[in-house]
A and B are shown apart, each in its own frame.
Chain A
């Protein structure tokens, strides 16, 4: 019943996402326990839609399983899990999924595909991206994304040719939309938190000016470079395609002209014109490279850039502050 509250015909936009603290902690815990390095952990978000906001009240992880045990049925597991949760009176409606990220790399084909299928099946689905590294540095990084209607449309068509994308007028900026997140707690928890804040010692607050930059920045740069390489390759591919296409079109044109000349000659001699052959058969247009990957890469590059920018601006601020402090003291 309440599922359709704000989402009749999908007209209403999802304006806000309320995430319970429990969910956040669970996700963090999940990563802490199972994820390491560039490995990614994933899980299911549960909750319900209230008016124009989606409330995520619970979640559970996808179990890690190797590729060897084929018997494992993920869907089965999810169904079981949700049924069990329902028995203990927890929201059991599937509203999306979460995934950890490694230095902000998450815009990939896999994410696109699964988010598309989620959104296709359950309209209000979101994907929560949790960045454990940033979180470890002290600022919780949790972001919610949805595919834009435009992208949904394209994915539905499954046509990723250059023309289709051009027609759809889609750029990397319009692929994902971020949904603002509000972390909401029950009052009791708020009280507890405040209480804890009071009690906690102010011991490790000297770290404020720690730059801790080079490693993070290096990693980000490395990843960025990798993607730039990928982008270059894509472009080269596309370039070759374009050139081939032009070349072929020229050939086609030449062929047509020759044929026309021949026909006029024949006509003047009173012979029947040569039969029209299927020109498309003779000149098969080259296979167009799918452009979706390029878009995704662009999105990812953009993402990295944003990250780096945010990071550096923060650090610059710190540097100035440190300088000022030093100048002051000396």
Chain B
């Protein structure tokens, strides 16, 4: 190799050497990464350099190959595309080209391509045959290549002058470098041809040479010099040859093949070998890099896990350390420091605390320190879930309960332990056992948090699964803990704390129906019950508990929120146990309706629940109107589910983003506290029916009839829209069907629709005093049906016997009498009672439907005229005209007339009508006059 270069001119060798020098630097810059990685491995560096060049050139040759293929099939657009790619690839490998010179195969392609394009361009007929895309590509490509080739003009010229030679020369370069003797021969041959264009040739040659120089250099170590370098040569030959192959009829073909033939049989194998080797090398490198990466990662991980030092030493203390309070506290603080840090293994921390508790127990370090550790265990249990929405795992939960129980045990056993949030860290006394212990920490907060966790667990459990039931069983323990805490705090805590724990207790009591007390009040107690039952029923009535706790809060609480919640719970509890008047009075006294909208959402939800319960209670007591009013707000919105915190309504994302949804989910009431929505709706609808149907019957012809319940009307309309009326299925359909029956005064059908097996199982059986409620309902239905009947059909009768009515509606005579009397007094029914015959005599003062209609029409016409007048006024340009008149009265007056008799009703109504007409008449005159005046004004 060196010999070969030594024979060359001085400049050549200089260049080659300089190139040699430059190479590592250049690679260093372009492949700095790899260089850095492998900087210790000399051999590899060189390999990389070589492969970089190879890679570039391989890329180029690949593209060239495709271009030649495209040329063969005359796919100009493909050609253009590839050419652009080639151009880009060439630019990319500019650094290499700069030092290596423009590769010969590149020039060759450029020249060939230009020739080929020109040839195509000349071939007019062929061009015509081309499709549009191809033709377009051809012209662009031609232009491009013409422009591009200007940069390589000299090279191309030289190539064109002697395509064989230069091709051969390339081969020669390649192969010649492999075996020096051969190249020597070749040089003799080519020398002449090279004479003219020596400088460029040299330039070309030099990099090529240097390349091999280097290649040889590193191959030396492998002691395979010859073979390897030949491989290199053959590689480039191959690429050249292949492209030649594709071209098919190149002049240099013969030469190439000749040369190749010598080692043709060897080549493929070697090539493969070489490739494999290189491959391996690459893989190795990759592996190395990977390893390093992994190593780094591993290191990083270690750092991450390294924060809690304790991990490495599961033994808390070094052997032989005397375990005393100070050491344990130090350790505790050590563990605590890791708390809340990123990457702290939270479960490990809990374990550590447990271990520490065990150690301190073993060594009898006193309760003070134990309490402290327990506090921390519970706190870290709560910390376990960083996400607010996530709930505790079952085992954690169990652990938590146990821990709190133990803590309470300790606290009860040792009355000399003071705990509190306000005890400063440094004034803690954990050790000295002759003084009372002072520990910082708030048991109440922990218990409250526990309660919240319990709620969260219930929220996140499928309410229809066994799991829910299992989880719910824990409520006993939760209540037990709260009760114990309550006892503890009653003796030790401040009033504030007592209020807080009371509220917790209330929250676990208010929604539960006290069956024991219920039974006791019914006088069923003890007779058939087993002893256990009896024992259970010994306990205090929940009503008494509620009363005691709530009253304490009313008296002592200073935060508004706790009192509000307590009141609401109290009302709820009253309502649940059908103490309607207490509940109502409490609600009215609290004035909560006025400012509940300022409360936070959970309180509002509680308020809604309370109102609903109140309404249902009123219904059970037969206060239909109260029930309706209480439920109206919740039901009319159509969002009862949401308002009661019993589920989210489907809404589009615009109204509620994910964040809000999470918050709302957290507010949901656990399933076991739910109020049955169907029951709620049924109660509401039935109340509405009992109110609305008689009202509708009474005001059938009233134009300004208002609706009592929009929702009920909506249901009626839905029912009417049904194309085919089958027997009712759902609760709503039942109510609608019942309403229809009631409209006709048919109370029996109405009754059968409201109270039947289906409705019983769906709704009525949910009440504790089912039978009583049903009896009340039947009675209400009878009464209201009677009223409806009288309203609807009174115009048909001259007189009705009350006995008949009582028979029809299965009501006692006095009841019928009182209902009718009430109607007469309220002037709903124009009739009088004839005492001796016990009949109702109708007065027939009601206008007939035709008269009613005419009245309505008259009113409408009045409105029309009024509107018309306004237009007229505008036209006349007297802007304020009609306002004045409005003030003067006109129609308003008339409306007054009409309304007044409505209220007074009865006899005077007729006069009212007359007056009405008169009023209307006067009005018209007014109008005429007004118009006239207006005209006058405008004409002035």
Contact = CB atoms under 8 A, between A and B. Distances in A.
B856 interface: yes
B864 A232 contact: yes
B861 interface: yes
A235 B857 contact: no
Interface string A217-236: 11001101100110110011
Contact of A225 (B850, B857, B871): B857
B854 interface: yes
A246 interface: yes
Contacts of A218: 849-850, 853
A221 B871 contact: no
Interface string A196-234: 000000000000000000100110011011001101100
A239 B871 contact: yes
B167 to A, nearest CB: 75
A221 B850 contact: yes
Nearest to B868: A235
A242 B871 contact: yes
A105 to B, nearest CB: 16
Chain B interface helix/strand/loop/mixed: helix
B860 interface: yes
Given A218-B849, A239-B867, A242-B871, A229 B860 contact: yes
Contacts of B250: none
A222 B853 contact: yes
Interface of A, secondary structure class, is: helix
Contacts of B868: 235
A115 B889 CA distance: 46
A104 to B, nearest CB: 16
B853 A236 contact: no
A236 B867 contact: yes
B863 interface: yes
B934 to A, nearest CB: 15
A7 interface: no
Nearest to A234: B867
A242 B857 CA distance: 27
Nearest to B864: A232
Contacts of B850: 214, 217-218, 221
Contacts of A232: 860, 863-864, 867
A243 interface: yes
A227 to B, nearest CB: 10
A238 interface: yes
A218 B848 CA distance: 11
Contact of A239 (B848, B857, B870): B870
Contacts of A221: 850, 853-854, 857
Nearest to B863: A232
A149 to B, nearest CB: 28
Interface in A151-208: none
Given A228-B861, A229-B860, A235 B871 contact: yes
Nearest to A233: B867
Nearest to A236: B867
Nearest to B848: A214
Chain A contact residues (Cβ within 8 angstroms of B): what range?
A: 10 to 19
Interface string A74-104: 0000000000000000000000000000000
B413 to A, nearest CB: 83
A238 B871 CA distance: 8
A228 B871 contact: no
A228 B867 contact: no
B874 interface: yes
Contacts of A239: 867, 870-871, 874
Interface in B843-899: 848-850, 853-854, 856-857, 860-861, 863-864, 867-868, 870-871, 874-875, 879
Interface string B816-855: 0000000000000000000000000000000011100110
Nearest to B849: A218
A224 B874 contact: no
B860 to A, nearest CB: 5
B870 A228 contact: no
A222 B850 CA distance: 10
Given A238-B871, A239-B871, A239-B874, A231 B853 contact: no
Nearest to A243: B874
Given A221-B850, A246-B874, A235 B856 contact: no
A225 B874 contact: no
Nearest to B875: A242
A232 B870 CA distance: 12
A256 to B, nearest CB: 19
A242 B873 CA distance: 11
Nearest to A229: B860
B864 A228 contact: yes
A236 B867 CA distance: 6
A225 B864 contact: no
Contacts of A228: 857, 860-861, 864
A150 B853 CA distance: 36
For the complex of A and B, the 4 pairs showing the least CB-CB separation, nearest first, are A235-B867, A221-B853, A242-B874, A228-B860
20 contacts: A214-B848, A214-B849, A217-B850, A221-B850, A221-B853, A221-B854, A222-B853, A225-B856, A225-B857, A228-B857, A228-B861, A228-B864, A229-B860, A232-B867, A235-B864, A235-B870, A235-B871, A238-B871, A239-B874, A242-B875
Given A221-B854, A221-B857, A236-B867, 7 more contacts: A217-B850, A218-B853, A225-B857, A225-B860, A232-B863, A235-B867, A239-B871
